[in-house]
Amino acid sequence: MDLFFHALLPYLLGSFLRLEKRLLAALVLGGIAPDLDVSLSLINNVYPTSLLLVHRGISHTIFFGFFFALIIFYLASREQIKSFLGRFIKFDLDFSVESLAFVYAGVLIHLAVDYTTTRGIPLFYPWQAVRYSADIFSQIEPIILIASLLVLAELIRERHRITFNKNMMIIFVLIFLIVGGIRIEGKATAESFFNGRNEEVYPDSNLFSWIALENDSDQFLVYGYDSLTGKVTNNSAFAKITVASSRTEAEKAIGAAEKLPQVKLFRWRAYAMAINAKSQNSSWDIEYYDPLVRAQMANSGPAFRPALKGYGSVRVRVEDGVAREVE
């Protein structure tokens, strides 16, 4: 879900429960803390590693999520930072065990919400790197994003009315449940339509659109499905591996590329992975791409393509058996 939703849900819940301001601030901080993992992504860009130092990686776990939030909590409670942030938003935050408990409660709320979305979360990392996901909502659900912005605007306008916050809590949860109900029904319809065809079904950005991924023997088949009309809207086929010249030499180059941490992370994040390999003089250019994301980019509007681009592909050049990532 979006950052606005992750901030609003614990805020409205805490207001509904009449928490003290300092505990309410702690709950909201915990709700947004896992998504403040951009610093981890920057580390991974400077020093690539196969550790899950990416968005929805190490900070979205029940173990490391606690320590990551603890660091954020400690920094946010320092007087210098509180003074700086106080210019933009008023909040009361104290570094205490009680507040830390509410910070972690906010983290758990965040993880529970992200579990319902595509790509999910590596809940039990480092013990296992498996991503857990109910695949009910799209990673960014446009209708819920719009609802979050509207509720946020109203809260700012009516910020002095506590009863208004309680009403907003009820409305906000109802919107979430209604959209969730539509999504659950749509997923059941899509799975019933593709029953027996070995497809995995995932939500797309449109409320009634779904994507089905079929793992065939030598190719991936991707279908768009509209649960409102009950029809397939588009379909694409992607070869699992495409080699422009010698297959034997390509396999050696791919073997070298597979050792790169960037490729390992891409494989972990992708729904599926296909490969294009071509030789150029004495080197190999290898593209690893996610066929489902590529189909999404081809069939989605320009507004969603930048968000998908980072998940789309990774390119590697192999020269004399040495692999490196290229732009």
Task: List the chain domain ranges.
Answer: 3-139, 141-239, 241-326
Q: How far is CA 97 from CA 93, 94, 100, in A?
A: 12, 9, 5
Report the distance separating Cα 297 and Cα 306, nearest Å.
9
196, two tokens? 């027996």
**Residue carrying the six token digits 């729904």:** 271
For the beta carbon of residue 51, count every other beta carbon within 10 angstroms. Answer: 17
29, two tokens? 């901080």
Write out the H or E segment, with its range, that includes residue 288. Answer: strand 283-289
Say what the pLDDT of residue 163 is. Answer: 55
241-243 and 274-280: which strand pairing?
A: parallel
Find how far residue 207's CA is from the centre of its chain: 17
30, two tokens? 């915990």
Find how far residue 69's CA is from the centre of its chain: 18
- Which DSSP string do the residues of 221-255 spell out, in sequence order? EEEEEETTTTEEEEEEEEESEEESS-HHHHHHHHH
Report the distance separating Cα 198 and Cα 266, nearest Å.
23
Say what the pLDDT of residue 196 is. Answer: 67
Say what the pLDDT of residue 15 is. Answer: 85
Report the distance separating Cα 104 and Cα 109, nearest Å.
9
Report the distance separating Cα 52 and Cα 30, nearest Å.
20
Backbone angles phi, psi at 30, to 5 degrees: -65, -35
Q: What is the mean pLDDT of each run of 10 residues along the chain (327 residues)?
A: 90 88 92 89 82 90 94 87 70 87 96 93 93 92 89 75 68 91 94 83 92 90 93 92 84 90 91 91 89 84 57 87 87
Q: What is the DSSP letter of 136?
A: -
**pTM for the full predicted model:** 0.89
